[in-house]
Chain A
């Protein structure tokens, strides 16, 4: 099962932190810090895998990928396949890219909520739910459409919502 999804920038600021087993706020911060501590000390061109027993307890592995200014991190146990998890990060990033057109850190900062929606469509309760970014996009679009419809008091101009679902 997947234990946690984290996105943080190269300065160690968290951009997204989701734990599938509850962690109190302080513990979350500590985990993010220690993960960042390990990641930033790793050289380029080494493997994307880490044994994370010392941070997350026994039987935990960590897969990370470095994109521009961001680290995408997945923590999981032995019931998942490392390479597949690496591809799951890929799926996530691809989806973000489709969603925001050339995604950059700024998009994630300002669309915090949306990022959560996306990750919820990919990983559900610690299990992989969907691995096709097209499918995820479809689901996201549907959600946005219905949300706008139900939200009668939405003041968002049409042009923006059009941009959003483009």
Chain B
């Protein structure tokens, strides 16, 4: 029956040309529909274009025919072919008097043209006329075109008419006029800035639809500048109240919801207005609470409104009751079977944990489920949530998860994104150097070409600097573990270029440092790299410089260097390379090898990559030379400023003469025998022995130059024994040659290389910054205040590196899973509880490997896995160590923290008592053992309380599991 109907309809259209379409057009559509390949389709369309081109140019085409041609053009363009030959005809059609043709013309031009197209100028006039038309449909069509075709320059041409339409009798027109103005605001805020009051006025329009439309531009305006609209809070709240109370006409109901789209808009606006504003927020509490209660959660749109409420609640000044309601809705979302609701639930959770971190733990299992879900969208959203929840205790689990996912996907865009997230988290929270390096290795190995080169530089710097402690043993251990891991990885095929650069640099710098590997072994590996990635010049450059470093260290250590054959051939090959950079490096390598130990050591000191280099801007080391020259009758140096001053005084006659005399002065300066020469000689060696000064020996200059071209880790942290001639030029030449900030002077005496002097400039600032961010044990000063707040409220302060947490929590989790299984069995709770107490008290230091161990529990199989995942999330409790807390916490974090606890705790109290049942209670009792408050005294008190409560299985103190998850 249904088929018959369709066929009948098709026939009807075929024969009569539904909506005035000819048989031809229908045939076209049909043949395209039946085309078996893209090529066939293209052929048909191209043929159609030819036909249209011919037909459309014919004179005296009937208008109805013309309309059809235009529609065919639109169709052709939708299929991806160029229909520009017909644009002008579409423009012409907009001039037509017939509404049908005019509308078709407008439709075509809005689809064809962009706002900067040349033909627009031909339409503006028509639009102006049509905006004044008596027929409101013409006006609407013109407004539609206005939205699309008017650009910044043409706005003034139509603006007066559009503004006039704000008072049009038809509400549909008013609505569209407001939206057109909104569009103008989008394109050029300045053009309509004087009309903002109109939006406010339209908010009081009799027609709710117009009022609803006004909310769109107001939302945009408010998001730019919140403060000028605070006065509207009351109005918005009362509108929302009326809408929620169904005061609007029935026509605005949608699926039994009163004007849900208007409600959503209003909630979004309130979220903006109430953000961080207690006074404004207080106005909103009642109405939002009402919506929470009344909203029908069975329909899609009802949930949309609920979700918007949560967003609003999480944005405005927190209110415990509302947070409770929000948490309830979130748990409903997460428990739902619909992936859409789960998605929104996760998103909402991410918003809410900022304010009340304790709600996350109720949903641990749901979160883990979402992480396992085959739906990519949901998975990514969950990673987003985890990212927000990361801290040093769970960073390993989360980052490993992220890396696993990163490896599994092909979408480069997201891969880049998640790789940068991993790097960010690892840099911030890394529990150990070793883990950090391993993690970075993985990221580089699988997404190396996608990560920012800066990440590689950071990694190199980290390895060079260690973690900022003065523990040389730890640093060298870090380095040798890095070297070892790289030697393992280096053999693998097709490593990303960035990663190879890191590997080469580290091997060059530290490959032979601990004496475990011989120089020939490392250089052999480096030669292999240079060979197998022979078309990557950067890698080759890194490799050859690394080889040079290794040999230099060997020579400096007094060992004899035998260059490997492959190395020899590599150097020969590179010295004939097209790249001058590679050539230079190759020659430098050869030059270094031919030097004696003392020279080599001073140009290439071992492990000096992060020493700061003192710049002696005054070139004081040259004083003796200058003195000598003066004694020999040279003229004293006159600074250029004084020189020109003198000139101005002595030559105040004419411009020409001034120039002449300047020439004269310069000429004299050139005649001075050898001022520039000494600059080319490395001073640490030669400054004391003044008699060597005039000899500009090529090999020396080569050496020094060589050092300067050693690839530096970054601009700052590397061994910059650079000799730059500009430092000298500054003294004798024009000041423009030298830039004080970048010039590194040649005054690197042995002292400064051993590095006690720190030069405070941008570079070293960067260094110290990097250091602190790597060091998870320090307060993270560089993190934005928002993050601090998040961290403080999520984790109860900066986390300590765990000393005995993982295993303990592991057991705790085990026990809790165990207990959860037999929920509502109080005895089981007590038992497992005691077990945990014991365990936590006598736990050995963390055994991270324990994570991988199969959990032996009595719980059923499916339960085991999620809990294993959870451990990372759970063990946070131990992490907030009481004693160190006060000491390490930076004051502002404390103050930030102090802002929240009152409301958070009270809200948690209210939320958890009614909402969680059996298993959550069990976990809560278990968690008691680990609760540590934000300061020692608090914690002790709480601990006592907890112990007291811990033995009574009925305890439902909600504070107890607040720290469980976050």
Contacts and interface: CB of A to CB of B under 8 A. Distances in A.
A81 B82 CA distance: 35
A139 B81 CA distance: 32
A132 B251 contact: yes
B303 interface: yes
B205 interface: no
A59 B278 CA distance: 29
B414 interface: yes
Interface string B226-253: 0000000000000000000000000110
Nearest to A109: B29
B841 interface: no
B663 interface: no
Contacts of A150: 97-100
B71 A157 contact: no
Interface stretch (B179-187, B448-456, B548-556, B947-955): B179-187
Interface stretch (B370-378, B642-650, B683-691): B370-378
Nearest to B97: A150
A3 B219 CA distance: 17
B123 to A, nearest CB: 14
Given A46-B339, A86-B340, A125-B148, A164 B19 contact: yes
Among A14, A87, A154, A157: residue with most chain B CB under 10 A? A87
B20 A155 contact: yes
B107 A125 contact: no
B254 A131 contact: yes
Nearest to B81: A25
Given A142-B137, A146-B99, A14 B78 contact: yes
A70 interface: no
Contact of B340 (A48, A117, A127): A48
A82 B344 contact: yes
Contact of B179 (A127, A135, A151): A127
Interface string B16-36: 101111000010010001000
A44 B251 CA distance: 34
Given A25-B77, A106-B6, A129 B18 contact: no
Given A50-B377, A106-B10, A83 B19 contact: no
Contacts of B375: 43, 46-47
B446 interface: no
A110 B18 contact: yes
B244 to A, nearest CB: 16
B185 to A, nearest CB: 11
B80 A29 contact: yes
B33 A109 contact: yes
Contacts of B71: 112-113
Interface string A32-48: 00000000001101111
B135 interface: yes
Interface in B148-185: 148, 172, 175-176, 179-180, 182-183
A51 B13 CA distance: 40
Interface residues of B, number: 88
Interface string B339-380: 110111000000000000000000000000000001111101
A132 B26 CA distance: 31
Given A25-B81, A49-B340, A53-B413, A116 B107 contact: yes
Interface string A94-136: 0000000010101101111110110010001111111110110
A147 B304 contact: no
Given A46-B339, A164-B19, A127 B254 contact: no
Contacts of B100: 147-148, 150-151, 154
Nearest to B41: A13
Contacts of B107: 113, 116-117, 120
B301 interface: yes
A98 to B, nearest CB: 15
Given A49-B340, A153-B64, A160-B18, A129 B176 contact: yes
Contacts of A155: 20, 64
Contact of B99 (A18, A45, A102, A147): A147
Contacts of A124: 144, 147, 175-176, 179
B54 interface: no
B103 interface: yes
B268 interface: yes
B80 A25 contact: yes
A110 B147 contact: no
Contact of A47 (B5, B307, B340): B340
B80 A125 contact: no
Contacts of A81: 264, 268, 304, 307-308
Contacts of B913: none
B294 interface: no
Contacts of B63: 153
Contacts of B254: 87, 91, 131-132
A130 B99 contact: no
B182 A125 contact: yes
Interface string A18-32: 101010111011000
Interface in B377-421: 377-378, 380, 411, 413-414, 417
A139 B251 CA distance: 14
B301 A84 contact: yes
Nearest to A61: B377
A47 B342 contact: yes
Nearest to A163: B12
Contacts of A128: 261
Interface string B679-722: 00000000000000000000000000000000000000000000
A125 B180 contact: yes
Contacts of A120: 107, 144
B74 interface: yes
Contact of A111 (B18, B62, B103): B18
Contacts of A126: 147, 183
A72 to B, nearest CB: 15
Given A87-B254, A113-B104, A127-B179, A47 B16 contact: no
Contact of B26 (A17, A54, A110, A125): A110
A46 B377 contact: yes
B125 interface: no
Contacts of A129: 175-176, 179, 213
Contact of B377 (A24, A47, A139, A157): A47
B115 A22 contact: yes
B669 to A, nearest CB: 57
Contacts of B5: 102
A86 B182 contact: no
B25 to A, nearest CB: 9
Contacts of B182: 125, 127
Contacts of A82: 304, 340, 343-344
A104 to B, nearest CB: 6
Interface of A: 1, 13-14, 16-18, 20, 22, 24-26, 28-29, 42-43, 45-51, 53-54, 79, 81-84, 86-87, 90-91, 102, 104, 106-107, 109-114, 116-117, 120, 124-132, 134-135, 139, 142-143, 146-148, 150-157, 160, 163-164
Given A46-B377, A79-B220, 4 more contacts: A29-B80, A47-B342, A110-B10, A155-B64
13 contacts: A49-B340, A49-B343, A79-B219, A110-B26, A112-B71, A113-B19, A124-B144, A124-B176, A125-B144, A129-B176, A150-B97, A151-B98, A154-B20
* 4 interchain residue pairs of minimum CB distance: A54-B413, A83-B304, A125-B147, A22-B114
Interface of B: 2, 5-6, 9-10, 12-13, 16, 18-21, 26, 29, 33, 62-64, 71, 74-75, 77-82, 97-101, 103-104, 107, 111, 113-115, 135, 137, 144, 147-148, 172, 175-176, 179-180, 182-183, 186, 209, 213, 216, 219-220, 223, 251-252, 254-255, 260-261, 264, 268, 300-301, 303-304, 307-308, 338-340, 342-344, 374-378, 380, 411, 413-414, 417
